[in-house]
Homo-oligomer: A and B are copies of this chain.
Amino acid sequence: MAEEKEYRDPNRRAVVNRLARASGHLEMVRRMVEEGRSYNDVLIQLAAVKAAINNTGKVILKDYIKQCLEELAEGGDKEALDELNRAVDQFIK
């Protein structure tokens, strides 16, 4: 099995910030439920957190594809494609 690719892409810092924002947003939804806010308000915000996480996953997947392409263009091993395909399967539900 190909050696798993470490996330070294320059985009990494932007992804960490996205995840921090999504984490804060999710914390806010938790407090909304605790305070007994309306179902509609809670579900709207929860859908927004879900979308933010989904978009972050797309950024990570694209960084992964980019790193694979670059390494392959420099003669990297083709087995890396199997690992990448595994990630596509894992993330797209």
- Number of interface residues, chain A, beta carbon within 8 A: 62
* Chain B residues, Cβ within 8 Å of A72: 69, 72-73
Bound Cα distance A67, B22 (Å) = 29
Please determine whether B57 and A53 come into contact, CB atoms closer than 8 angstroms.
no
Please determine whether A88 and B62 come into contact, CB atoms closer than 8 angstroms.
yes
> Which residues A53-79 have CB closer than 8 A to chain B?
53-54, 56-58, 60-69, 72-73, 78
Q: Which A residues contact B (CB, under 8 angstroms)?
A: 4-8, 12, 15-16, 19-20, 22-23, 26-27, 29-30, 33-34, 36-44, 46-47, 49-51, 53-54, 56-58, 60-69, 72-73, 78, 81, 83-93
